[in-house]
Amino acid sequence: MRLIKAIMVGVLLATVGIGPARAAAPSAVVLPAKATIAADGTVDLTMKVRCNTHERAFEWSVEIRQGTIYGNDSAGPVANLITCDGRFHQVQANVVGANGPYTAGPANVQALVQLNDSITTTDVELEDVAVVQLRASR
């Protein structure tokens, strides 16, 4: 009899949508393994950003260092700069070398995304750092 009661309670809870809550995937910024060097020596890079519905992305930046060459690209601060719906979205960056063109090979890349969390009312910073292979466009 207890088993039947337990099964019935489980079925009832499942039908009304009460049960273990699924945790939202953590917010993240992810750099690619490769990026493309344009004919003018700038780097086109596509990063992926995921943030949850209670967050608002308002700024992003990417910095690339390759030997003595460095540069960055950024956007914001602008409200809802990146869609925050729990799924990954692509963000395009174009980085100009401040002191010369980039060349094919590895480069140190840092990406930052600034979010505001509406639950805690605090700002949060996402970061990814990676060695990205730069390759000439075809």
Per-residue model confidence as pLDDT tens for the chain (138 residues) = 554 554 444 444 444 444 455 667 789 999 999 999 999 999 999 999 999 999 999 999 999 999 999 999 999 999 899 999 999 999 999 999 999 999 999 999 999 999 999 999 999 999 999 999 999 987
Q: What total of structural domains would you count in the chain? A: 1
CATH of residue 127: 2.60.40.10
**In a domain? residue 47:** yes
Nearest partner of 93 among 27, 48, 26, 39, judged by Cα: 48
In-domain check, residue 68: yes
- Give domain status of residue 103, yes or no: yes
Q: What pLDDT is stored for residue 42 in this prediction?
A: 96
User: By three-state DSSP, how is residue 4 classified?
Assistant: helix
CB within 8 Å of 125: residues ≥ 6 apart? 112, 113, 114, 115
- On whether residue 114 sits in a domain, the answer given is yes
Classify residue 15: in a domain, yes or no. Answer: no
Neighbours of 36 (CB within 10 A): 15
**Residues spanned by the domain of 128:** 23-136
> Does a structural domain hold residue 12?
no
Any domain includes 14: no
Q: Does residue 4 fall inside a structural domain? A: no
